[in-house]
Chains A and B, each alone.
Chain A
């Protein structure tokens, strides 16, 4: 699978979230988003039961 083009994603989100960014901020945002994406990749590949809920507060 090809790596996603995060530059395009950032451009779309900039419009959707009504942000005004300059090139320096876009470049830093690309670094940050790419780092999160690297962490998300194995997590998204991890199989979880479809009935698994989010964790709550311990009550035991």
Chain B
């Protein structure tokens, strides 16, 4: 059985029927990681013993004749900013490598454990989650499985690469300004950034509390929906979680485009991308019968406001460490963090208030449209070490600009599914399917239609097992 070609539900059924054991799945996964991670550099820690123990627990359940939970025996991995009991939470930073081990799993990992998934380890990221390329000075660059000379995107680069390489069925990442959507786009896999406040973040290392989201990556839309459904649960420990009951999305996927009115975001979103991205948008617009161009006023200002909030909230918590041990910091980020910690408070508060204003301007669009389409990145994956990209005739800093089209959307806190399409260059590019708050079902349904109709790029498999 080629594990990566089998859906989560099919693999669970195979384990349930005894066709394969959860331990065999775990062992095959660990062997594939051992073989391919040296090239990929996605895992910073492999939790082999834990994975085998979790797998054996599933096999024991089966032998006792118990029902298996929805993710029984399914391999996954998490960005290394989630707490995993017994391990130091790195958040991509050597600064944290010596801190005490986490005493408990993050809330999301505990949910996945209860659902029967088996944890293979923790994944590389940009230090402190501050970046879009996962070129980490201390832990190395994560390579894009579709072209090892290129970046995987960031900051959840390891999470996208692990899934896109076919080494695990799903992974967890976080998205503050685009850190799920950018790597999903560049690695050519599916990613879901839910509504801000939808999923608990407790037990994850914060970056920008006002903007941080957690979410899954997967190779198939039904897998993405299933994992998202398992992650939905109330958690009083997360002060930013919205009070909203769980709403399963998997059962509704087959409703497809029923009742969905789709539009294409123009202006800022169609100007700041290359021809390949525009071509991908045109393909999806035709497939989803999106005939109207929709303008999102002040999107560029929203990006600036997100940038300022990120600098201030991202930098200030590090001030004591920046004072006491500056040599321990990632050189790409140190002065960026410090600049954020010393900016005038008026800038930060204006950005926070503008966010409310921007929401008030944009949300009425959803009275006419259920789904908006935009590129996730201005272009496909750049090469490792590349400093600039040329978009719209302008040379832009590559690391900061890969997230320019995702920032205004996470600033709004809207749910987004990234769907990967092929380009003429052979590299994938992702599109954002965007809906009103809490309408994750709509973005997943549209993504499922695009996948079923063959518009999305074929998934690859480094392992070949």
Contacts and interface: CB of A to CB of B under 8 A. Distances in A.
Contacts of A28: 334-335
B195 A54 contact: no
B240 A57 contact: yes
Interface residues of A, number: 31
Contact of B308 (A19, A32, A36): A36
B371 to A, nearest CB: 17
Interface in B100-121: none
B335 A43 contact: no
B307 interface: yes
Interface string A27-60: 0110111011001101110101100111101111
Nearest to B304: A39
Contacts of A18: 323
Interface stretch (B6-14, B156-164, B225-233, B342-350): B342-350
B323 A55 contact: no
Given A46-B298, A48-B350, A54-B352, 11 more contacts: A9-B342, A17-B342, A19-B338, A28-B334, A29-B335, A29-B338, A33-B339, A39-B304, A40-B347, A42-B304, A54-B356
Nearest to A32: B339
Q: Which of A17, A28, A31, A36 has the most CB of B within 10 A?
A: A36
Interface of B: 195-197, 240-244, 298, 301, 304-305, 307-308, 311, 319, 322-323, 326, 334-336, 338-343, 346-347, 349-357, 359, 413, 437-438
A43 B437 contact: no
A25 interface: yes
Contact of B304 (A17, A33, A43): A43
Nearest to B305: A43
B342 A43 contact: no
Q: Which of A20, A40, A42, A52 has the most CB of B within 10 A?
A: A40
Nearest to A49: B357
A52 B357 contact: yes
B278 to A, nearest CB: 26
B311 A36 contact: yes
A58 B197 contact: yes
A44 to B, nearest CB: 6
A13 to B, nearest CB: 4
Contacts of A40: 304, 308, 343, 347, 350
Contact of B196 (A43, A49, A57): A57
A40 to B, nearest CB: 4
A25 B335 contact: yes
Nearest to A60: B437
Contacts of B355: 54-55
A57 B242 contact: yes
Contacts of B197: 57-58
A44 B346 contact: yes
Contacts of A42: 301, 304
26 contacts: A17-B341, A19-B322, A19-B323, A19-B338, A25-B338, A28-B334, A28-B335, A32-B335, A32-B338, A35-B339, A36-B311, A36-B343, A36-B347, A39-B308, A40-B308, A46-B301, A48-B353, A48-B357, A53-B353, A55-B352, A55-B359, A57-B196, A58-B197, A58-B413, A59-B242, A59-B243
